[in-house]
Amino acid sequence: MIPQLFRKAAVERHGGAREGDLLRLETKWTSWSFRLVLIAGLVALAFIIVFDVNEYATGPAIVRVEGRRPLVTMVAGIVETVHVQSGQHVEKDQVLVTVSAPAEQAEYRRASREFQLSLAALLRDPSDNSTKSSLASLKPKRDNAAQLANARIVRAPHAGVVTDIRVRPGQYLAANDVVAGIAPEGAKASLVAFVPGEYRPMLKPGQQLRFSLQGYKFEYRTLDVESVGAEVVGPAEMRRYIGQELGDAVPVEGATVLVKAPLPWRTFTADGQTYSYVEGLTGTASVRVRKEPIIVVLVPGLKSLRNRR
């Protein structure tokens, strides 16, 4: 009798097994995984149907002070003294900046000396007609030289507040260079933004504008659009509007439209410090022009179906 290789209990155990029973799959966790994936898919579908995505018209912006008047020097020369500082209240005709103009001052001294000599000669001999004629021609010459000499002194044209000082002692100035700015007392500040021209049909007064100030982290302001430019213009026209002194401060490229919003505050706070909005501060402005469901953005074909409905 040949002995069996396996025990009887082992043979009986193997005989009762089913085919394929060597690998058993646990179906409990797969069913839960399927349910989780299905729930996540439904939540994502509801999210893209219910929630919207915003489109913004974004561009550079600059702070302007209402009623500000730039003051220029009428003669070329070197700045001798700056008598005021930004934010200071000044009275009418108060001296702001003094410029050294040697040629104009020398001409005034020479014309005054000639006038005084002719006047003394006329007093010695009142009947001298040639002296009278010379004196008559020297007087307007002296007065003109006096005006040019006085032009080296920049004065306040009216009472107000100095918004900015753009010169320093020792700086050379050409004629008609801007030295300072002055605005009426209590003048308000406003924001002028330059957004891409293609958004012009979507822009209108009353929309909200978000302004972030350059150089100050987390300094944001939400403003109401006051006015929108009627036309789309090019960079040259925009720089002409800004002015020569600030034309290079705003990086305007391509066709743009002007958007204006008033600043209800004259000051802002950054890092615990309070500062004033001054002429020429720059930043970035964004105006929300369109809002659409996320699903419409992902599936553009739904937009035309939505518009027809």
Domains of the chain and CATH, by start: 53-67+188-308 (2.40.30.170), 69-183 (2.40.50.100)
pLDDT tens, residue by residue, 145-179: 566 666 678 889 999 988 888 888 888 888 888 88
- Indicate the pTM of the whole model: 0.60
Strand runs labelled E in 73-129: 77-82, 89-90, 95-100
Q: Which two tokens stand for residue 8?
A: 């009887």
Amino acid at 259: V
Residue position matching structure tokens 């419409």 = 296
pLDDT band at 215 (very low <50, low <70, confident <90, very high): confident
pLDDT of residue 1: 47
Pick from 98, 213, 268, 89: nearest CA to 162 = 89
pLDDT tens, residue by residue, 98-109: 887 666 666 666
Contacts of 67 (CB under 8 A, 6+ apart): 183, 184, 187
pLDDT tens, residue by residue, 49-94: 767 677 888 989 988 888 888 888 887 888 888 999 888 899 998 9
HEC string for 141-169: HHHHHHHHHHCCEEECCCCEEEEEECCCC
